[in-house]
Structure 1
Amino acid sequence: MDNFIVSARKYRPVTFDSVVGQGHITSTLKNAIHNNQLAQAFLFCGPRGVGKTTCARILAKTINCEHITENVEACGTCDSCISFQNGNSFSIHELDAASNNSVDDIRSLIEQVRIPPQAGKYKIYIIDEVHMLSQAAFNAFLKTLEEPPSYAIFILATTEKHKILPTILSRCQIFDFNRIKVEAMANHLASIAQKESISFEPDGLHIIAQKADGGLRDALSMFDQIVSFSNKNISYQAVIDNLNILDYDYYFQLVDRIAGEDGAQTLLIFDKVLNNGFDGGHFISGLATHLRNLLVSKEPATLKLLEVSDNIKRKYLEQSQALSSGLLLSTLNIANQCEINYKSSKNQRLQVELALLKMCHVAAAILLSKQGSFVPSASTEVKKKLPEQSVAAPSTPSVTVSSTPTPAPLTASVPASQAAVTAVASTTTPPPAAAIAENQSASATPKKGWGKLPSSIDIPNLNTIFEDKPVEESEENDLVQGNAYSEVTWNAFLSKWNTFAEGLKKTTRVTLYTIMTANVPRLNGTLIEVDVENAVQMDELKVGKIDLLNYLRVQLNNFALDIQGVQVEMTKVRKPYTSQEKYQAMLSKNPALETLRKAFNLGLS
């Protein structure tokens, strides 16, 4: 029996063109070889299983090939290529930095670099997992990496670029490898299956490619496993059974039940998923992905974002056309919140079931919001839809009230907001005649944005419900008015002024009392001028002006009196308060005080 070789080794690429999903890197390397512009050091970085070490080996073999083809590929027949393929090349060396990460290992490498190649043009060193080198090893490697001999080329490979010193990165040409796309990986698996005479279903290969998460080596390992499991018959069912993957059909059935508001069947499907051994968190994550794919399928421009087979893509298209974007967005938001709260929940099953029941009621909530909404602008639409049948009196042209309490039927084109108006009208008792007259007179001038309600609906004046509140009258309207303009003497004015000020003592309006008593007011004809010291007192005077004028006008029998505040600049010197201020005041009167303080080394307390 021949020894079995896993597909990851058996079908490992040996030329640049056979590398899967890294065309931007292979084309760059081929151009560098063709133009003889090879760097001294290369750094290949990216996730696992995307071809870093493979490209490093292909590059090393092609550089030393004696008969490079016109397509810039290694011939595979020269002595250098054959020795490399047999693993006994003296010019190409591979070093695993995970197990040779000390400074002594790097020193040994540096000593080998000094020896020219025995065969071939270049001496190439491939260092895998270079991020595992120690700090001292990196520092010992710096000088050689920056100025190696002309025949030495270093190819470094790593999955964790961020762990490499910036001084190392600056000395290398950096190539970032991408995750391999699902479609490219599925096609590669199909070509291998054909070479091995293995029957397969495209949907099954797509599932393997999706599960591999961009790594071709992982995909090939799963491929070998399923080939053994299914006896060389890779079907969709065999893949989901072996890899423990939730079937698409579960989610398609579930979304159909959600759209149909069938909560019972939704919970039963979830129970079946749990009984098959799947985790609730894995289920809700898959449901969120399914809803996302349905939302993506709604637009032709985003259809390319679906990384599924053509058969599954058609199912997504069919189901997405039957669902609204609002329903998909709402359910996707619920699934996302459930996934966030799932791990912290003590009753995880209840968390998922509650999210599923919420999803089942999303469609009803959306329909209710469309039919039951009532917005102020709706009356304008009512006016456009329904003809006016004016039977109102000449004095009430804007609002018409029917003589019978039964509302007239609405036409089919009436929007949901009008239906809400009709519902209100059908449950409202017609008001008495006095109330009707009052409503009509109050609404003689309709507010902006409101049309006249149709006469075919027998309801009271609903416009008054949304009328603006009456605006408060200005300060001038609050003053007492009269026609008396008796002459005001200074003594009479001052007496009434002081009487009002004394009355403020019993209230909380201390600031106004201070303003009235701190400075003597001036009477210029009918204008009373009051001095204030700051803006705060000015505002307080304006607030108390109404009450003060109402009192003075009545008491002095002159309704032309008015008050004006005058802000004056304070020239009065404030008394010293702090110890420093008191000392400065004393020093200004007796300068010798400073000499005394210094002589006795006194301080301010």
Structure 2
Amino acid sequence: MENFVVSARKYRPSDFKSVVGQKHITTTLKNAIKNSHLAQAFLFCGPRGVGKTTCARILAKTINCENLKEEGEACNQCDSCLAFNSNSSFNVHELDAASNNSVDDIRSLVDQVRYPPQKGKYKIYIIDEVHMLSNQAFNAFLKTLEEPPKYAIFILATTEKHKIIPTILSRCQIFDFNRIQIKDIADHLAYIARTEEIDYEEEALRLIATKADGALRDALSIFDLIVTFSAGKKVTYQETISNLHILDYDYYFKVTEALLDESISSALLVFDEILKKGFDGHNFLVGLSEHFRELLVCKDPDMATLLQVSETARSRYVEQAGKASVSFLLSSLNICNQADLSYKSSKNQRLHVELVLMKLAKLPHALSLAAVAGNGAKKKA
């Protein structure tokens, strides 16, 4: 049986142009390589799964490439590139600072730095999770980081930049990686699906991208899970929300419709259906707040493009936003926010959410009475 390779490894970028969502980083690094403006110490910062270690490895391979391309990419054909791709390069050393964070580990690394490369221009040292180093290890590393040999380049990667001492930060060229946009993740998942000949629904890929919260590695892991569930045939929206235990936004449309119609019974019945499906009342409250926020955004047609949803879903948001007043949406957001803060301290949490729905259902009537009273006061004045 053929060994399965997870998508995060199988489709790991091997050059700068295949890195997703970090163009500001890759462009700067390629220009530095082309113009021979390489710093001797780099610090790659950012959340998990956005390509820090991947970019470090690509940079390490590219600066030792013997036949560098005009655009600053590695050729992937020379001896140096082939050795790197087969994990047999003697010029690239990786250290996991999470498990090698003592003074002795850093002293061992410093001792290695003294020896120049036997082949190639540079020796590259990639230190992952560098914030895990002890203060003593950082101090032992300082002098080497400030005045390394010309052939030594250090690439540090971390998810917690604030934990690194200022004396280390001042010696590095710092690159801040962004969370990857939902559209970029969805497009990359679509590319992988086409390559693997897997049918997919765009809404399903967008949902996976949203759930990943800007981390491409997380998105690829979720994608593999859904593909396995469907036996490698098709990634559908319904299967995705079922597997990820996500509440379908269709429920929020139904609840909001009931609230705008001032129908307490309809709203409570929808909420009862949600609870029977095993969803938590607190998650429902948070999701309802997000739904009201999306409707508020859609009150301005120009801002509707901010919604990271499909065209079909966006048209539904715009349509429902047309039925709800700004006053209703702002008041609803305030009520939901207060309920969110007091949810955990409530003794009867189901009743807590039901009372919120009852208040929201009577909100349009209360707002209309307030408007009438306000107009009456103006006439008397």
* Structure 2 length-normalised TM: 0.98
Aligned to 2:131: 131
Aligned to 1:161: 161
Q: How does 1:483-498 map onto structure 2 within 5 Å?
A: none
Q: State the shift of 1:326 in Å.
A: 1.2
Aligned to 2:177: 177
Q: Are the equivalent residues in 2 in contact too, given 1:227–1:233 (CA < 8 A)?
A: yes
Q: State the shift of 1:330 in Å.
A: 1.2
Number of residues paired by the alignment? 380
Q: Are the equivalent residues in 2 in contact too, given 1:53–1:128 (CA < 8 A)?
A: yes
Q: Are the equivalent residues in 2 in contact too, given 1:6–1:221 (CA < 8 A)?
A: yes
Q: Are the equivalent residues in 2 in contact too, given 1:66–1:80 (CA < 8 A)?
A: yes
**1:233 aligned onto 2:231:** no
Question: SS of the counterpart of 1:127?
Answer: strand
Q: State the shift of 1:127 in Å.
A: 0.3
Q: Deviations over 1:212-256 (max 9, x none)?
A: 010000000000000011222101101000000000110011100
Aligned to 2:255: 254
Q: State the shift of 1:180 in Å.
A: 0.4
> Which structure's CA Rg is the greater one?
1
Aligned to 1:120: 120
Aligned to 2:337: 336
**Could you tell me how far apart the structure 1 residues matched to 2:318 and 2:277 are?**
28
Q: Deviations over 1:85-109 (max 9, x none)?
A: 1001010111111111110111110
Q: State the shift of 1:325 in Å.
A: 1.1
Task: From the superposition, tell whether residues 102 and 188 of structure 1 become closer, same or farther in structure 2 (CA, over 3 Å).
Answer: same
Identity of paired residues, percent? 63
Task: From the superposition, tell whether residues 146 and 288 of structure 1 become closer, same or farther in structure 2 (CA, over 3 Å).
Answer: same
Q: State the shift of 1:348 in Å.
A: 1.3
Question: SS of the counterpart of 2:29?
Answer: helix
Q: Are the equivalent residues in 2 in contact too, given 1:251–1:287 (CA < 8 A)?
A: yes
**Could you tell me how far apart the structure 1 residues matched to 2:262 and 2:378 are?**
32
Query: Runs ≥4 in structure 1, deviation > 4 angstroms?
Result: 374-377
Question: SS of the counterpart of 1:44?
Answer: strand
Aligned to 1:298: 299
Q: Residue type of the partner of 1:244?
A: H
Aligned to 1:96: 96
Question: SS of the counterpart of 2:268?
Answer: helix
**Could you tell me how far apart the structure 2 residues matched to 1:254 and 1:54 are?**
44
Q: State the shift of 1:82 in Å.
A: 0.5
Q: Deviations over 1:551-601 (max 9, x none)?
A: xxxxxxxxxxxxxxxxxxxxxxxxxxxxxxxxxxxxxxxxxxxxxxxxxxx
**Could you tell me how far apart the structure 1 residues matched to 2:191 and 2:342 are?**
43
Aligned to 1:276: 277
Aligned to 1:289: 290
The unaligned stretches of length 5 or more in structure 1 are 380-448, 450-605
**Could you tell me how far apart the structure 2 residues matched to 1:165 and 1:220 are?**
33
Q: State the shift of 1:377 in Å.
A: 4.2
Aligned to 2:3: 3
**Could you tell me how far apart the structure 2 residues matched to 1:344 and 1:169 are?**
43
Q: State the shift of 1:375 in Å.
A: 5.0
Question: SS of the counterpart of 1:267?
Answer: helix
Q: Residue type of the partner of 1:23?
A: K
**Could you tell me how far apart the structure 2 residues matched to 1:169 and 1:352 are?**
48
Structure of greater relative contact order (alpha carbons < 8 Å, 6+ residues apart): 2
**Could you tell me how far apart the structure 1 residues matched to 2:113 and 2:374 are?**
80
**Could you tell me how far apart the structure 2 residues matched to 1:163 and 1:374 are?**
58
Q: Residue type of the partner of 1:46?
A: G
Q: How does 1:508-527 map onto structure 2 within 5 Å?
A: none
Q: Are the equivalent residues in 1 in contact too, given 2:34–2:71 (CA < 8 A)?
A: no
Q: Deviations over 1:247-279 (max 9, x none)?
A: 011001110000000001101111111111111
Aligned to 1:21: 21
Q: Are the equivalent residues in 1 in contact too, given 2:102–2:137 (CA < 8 A)?
A: yes
Question: SS of the counterpart of 1:218?
Answer: helix
Q: Are the equivalent residues in 2 in contact too, given 1:203–1:311 (CA < 8 A)?
A: no
* Structure 1 length-normalised TM: 0.62
